[in-house]
């Protein structure tokens, strides 16, 4: 009895599995039909219609890797790279066959190249070659991605050095500005000292002027003392009196000399000369 029950359950399980497998096969078939419609619309430049068909195909079956891959290509040609990358990744995750995985990763590498994300592009192309080592196009793209990555890193290093130099120059300029400000401040202090010195000079000049005035007054006092000294003492002639006596004596001598000269003139004989 138990064996019969077990057999019945086994038969029922097989029936459900077959029905489930049949449903999957039907869904995959419908998905492929929508994919074919999408390919047809895309060949006729009907992008919107093609996008709708591909989305229906993806919704019908998660085993159809072609639909997301073709939709990714459609987005790629429209330069909608973010959407394209998402669909290529979806195709790579769904794909079972290596050729399909290779194509998905190859195209992911192309998206990374467009974005200038060269390091990610290198990894994508490597993953593509793991699924198809003989693809020369992928190998060429990998070499190109490595070269572009090298140049990008060199440029980043150069930019970093330039930024460091810029920061260093900025610090030097700030230090120089602080030095200039300090120098200006010192000059201002010196200017204040100069003003104080000028004030001191003015004070000294005023003092010297006062001293000169005093000196001018002092000779007057000296004259008074000199006059006091030149006042005649008892039984002593003054300087002026002596001068008057000398002049009187000189006048007397002149008079005597004139008389003597007159007498000499009188004693001399005069010759009369005739005019013709």
Per-residue pLDDT of the chain (276 residues; tens, 9 = 90+): 445 544 444 555 556 567 778 888 999 999 999 999 999 999 999 999 999 999 999 999 999 999 999 999 999 999 999 999 999 999 999 999 999 999 999 999 999 999 999 999 999 999 999 999 999 999 999 999 999 999 999 999 998 888 878 878 787 777 777 777 776 666 666 555 555 655 555 555 555 555 555 555 554 444 555 544 444 444 455 667 667 767 777 777 677 566 666 554 444 343 333 333
pLDDT for the residue numbered 257 = 67
- DSSP letter string, 228-239: HHHSPPTT---H
Residue with tokens 């260093």: 168
pLDDT for the residue numbered 267 = 40
Rounded CA-CA distance 108/127 in Å is 10
Rounded CA-CA distance 36/16 in Å is 30
Structure tokens at 18: 């077959």
DSSP label of 267: T
- DSSP letter string, 173-195: HHHHHHHHHHHHHHHHHHHHHHH
Rounded CA-CA distance 204/94 in Å is 104
pLDDT for the residue numbered 197 = 56
Residue 168 region by backbone torsions, left for phi larger than 0, else alpha for psi between -120 and 50, else beta: alpha
Largest interatomic CA distance in the chain: 215
Q: Return the exposure string of 222-244: e unless at least 16 CB atoms fall within 10 Å of the residue's CB, then b.
A: eeeeeeeeeeeeeeeeeeeeeee
Full-model pTM: 0.56
């Amino acid at each position: 009895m138990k064996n019969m029950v077990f057999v019945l359950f086994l038969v029922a399980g097989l029936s459900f599995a077959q029905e489930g497998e049949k449903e999957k096969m039907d869904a995959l078939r419908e998905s492929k039909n929508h994919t074919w419609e999408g390919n047809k619309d895309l060949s006729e430049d009907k992008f919107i219609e093609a996008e709708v068909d591909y989305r229906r195909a993806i919704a019908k079956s998660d085993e159809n890797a072609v639909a997301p891959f073709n939709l990714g290509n459609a987005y790629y040609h429209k330069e909608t790279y973010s959407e394209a990358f998402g669909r290529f990744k979806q195709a790579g995750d769904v794909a079972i066959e290596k050729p399909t995985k290779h194509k998905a990763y190859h195209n992911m590498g192309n998206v990374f190249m467009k974005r200038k994300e060269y390091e990610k592009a290198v990894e994508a192309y490597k993953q593509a070659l793991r699924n198809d080592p003989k693809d020369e196009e992928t190998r060429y793209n990998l070499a190109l991605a490595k070269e572009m990555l090298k140049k990008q890193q060199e440029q980043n290093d150069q930019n970093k050095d330039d930024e460091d130099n810029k920061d260093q120059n900025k610090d030097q300029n700030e230090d120089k500005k602080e030095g200039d400000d300090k120098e200006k401040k010192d000059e201002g202090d010196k200017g204040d000292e100069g003003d104080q010195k000028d004030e001191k000079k003015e004070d000294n000049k005023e003092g010297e002027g006062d001293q000169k005035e005093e000196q001018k007054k002092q000779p007057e006092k000296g004259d008074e003392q000199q006059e006091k000294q030149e006042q005649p003492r008892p039984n002593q002639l003054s300087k002026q009196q002596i001068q008057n006596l000398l002049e009187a004596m000189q006048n007397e001598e002149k008079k005597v000399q004139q008389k003597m000269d007159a007498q000499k003139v009188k004693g001399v004989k005069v010759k009369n000369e005739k005019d013709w």
